[in-house]
Amino acid sequence: MDLFNAIIQVLDSTIRLSVPLLLACLAGLYSERAGIFDIGLEGKMLVGAFAGAASASVFHSAYIGLGMAILISVAFALVHGFASITHRGNQIVSGVAINFIAAGSTIMLGQAWFQQGGRTPALASDERFGAIIWPGADAVRGVPILGPIYSELISGHSVLVYVAFLAVPFTWWVLFRTRFGLRVRAVGENPAAVDTAGISVAWLRYRALICTGVLTGIAGAYLSMVQNGGFVKDMTAGKGYIALAALIFAKWKPVNAMFACLLFGFLDALSIRLQGTPLPLIGKVPVQLMQALPYILTVILLAGFIGKAIPPRAGGVPYVKER
């Protein structure tokens, strides 16, 4: 039973740790399916985390914090669109610039507003998204096997966790069962054909980037208003880049993206669980190695286990209308 409880705890941590990755991965899915390579997922998550925590602290409302996180992330997504769509700039350079601006501005504003070294004040319970306890979760907690699964894995998460996993079938439906999704996929493969049909390529790509901004804003709000209870410097810690790796690993498909993010979340949860624990035939592993394990395995998986991943053909290429 101790082994079973340990497995449940690792799986519970897997779900919690995979949520920001999943939201960022789905965000990247919208932009890259539309032909916009967005390496700035990291920066948009970071500004969303700061805006969410700062607004929740000032207005004492978790939902105002979430709204501000989404608003600021969408604004940064539109800046990326203005540089890469309207002015046909290099999408990689624009994304990297957004990451640098986010990293610097969040610390500067945090210090100017709160004088806590770039952090925001710790959020009170009504300024965060608390856990939702499902009906009967406490009653069945003692039931073998099914009780812990229901009370720990299914129940007891914040609303943003359920939003993240519900976003997977919703994204699949949007991209593969709606006119908007068909046009987004078409503009990522052959924007000239979309333009010939009389549809604005720029407006389609801007709408895809708005979707990206909404999802990265929720991801950032989750980090600062659910996981941490406040904003701290560089709290995204490379999650935007891991989300991009998960997107490539998933071959730009939403359901595959969910499983890829769960895999990376599991590796992260396992590395936390095994820190300081002696391993058979190896002994005690340095903490730094365990912390680096998810990133090392990310590189290994991308290098040799995904096969040939073919991105959208128009990805990363500015569209120039033929005259």
Give the pLDDT score at 10. 87
Burial class (CB in 10 A: 0-12, 13-18, 19+), 239: buried
Give the pLDDT score at 211. 96
Least confident of 113-117, 158-162, 214-218: 113-117
What SS3 state is found at 276?
coil
Give the pLDDT score at 218. 96
Task: Give dist(CA 66, CA 51) in Å, integer.
Answer: 8
Nearest C-alpha neighbor of 208 from the set 12, 52, 33: 33
What's the pLDDT band for 299 if we cut at 50, 70, 90? confident
Whether the Cβ atoms of residue 224 and residue 230 lie closer than 8 Å to each other: yes
Q: Residue range 132-146: average pLDDT?
A: 81
- Tell me the domains of the chain and their CATH numbers: 2-127+145-305 (1.10.3470)
Task: Give dist(CA 209, CA 114) in Å, integer.
Answer: 31
* Separation in Å, CA 110 to CA 66, 125, 186: 17, 21, 41
Q: How many CB atoms lie within 10 A of CB 152?
A: 18
What's the pLDDT band for 44 if we cut at 50, 70, 90? very high
Which residues, listed in sequence order, are joined to residue 132 by a DSSP beta bridge? 157
Q: What is the mean pLDDT of the chain?
A: 87
Task: Kindly tell me if the per-residue pLDDT of 95 is higher than 90.
Answer: yes
Q: Residue range 281-297: average pLDDT?
A: 73
Nearest C-alpha neighbor of 225 from the set 59, 66, 42: 66
Give the pLDDT score at 125. 85
Encoding tokens for residue 35?
């032909």
Q: How many CA atoms lie within 13 A of 35 on its CB side?
A: 26
Give the pLDDT score at 54. 94
The Cα angle at residue 38 between residues 29 and 50, in degrees rounded to 5: 100
Task: Give dist(CA 225, CA 53) in Å, integer.
Answer: 6
Which residues, listed in sequence order, are joined to residue 157 by a DSSP beta bridge? 132
Q: How many CB atoms lie within 10 A of CB 280?
A: 5
Task: Give dist(CA 44, CA 38) in Å, integer.
Answer: 10
Burial class (CB in 10 A: 0-12, 13-18, 19+), 307: exposed
Give the pLDDT score at 64. 94
Task: Give dist(CA 98, CA 42) in Å, integer.
Answer: 9
Q: Residue range 109-113: average pLDDT?
A: 90
Task: Give dist(CA 21, CA 14) in Å, integer.
Answer: 11
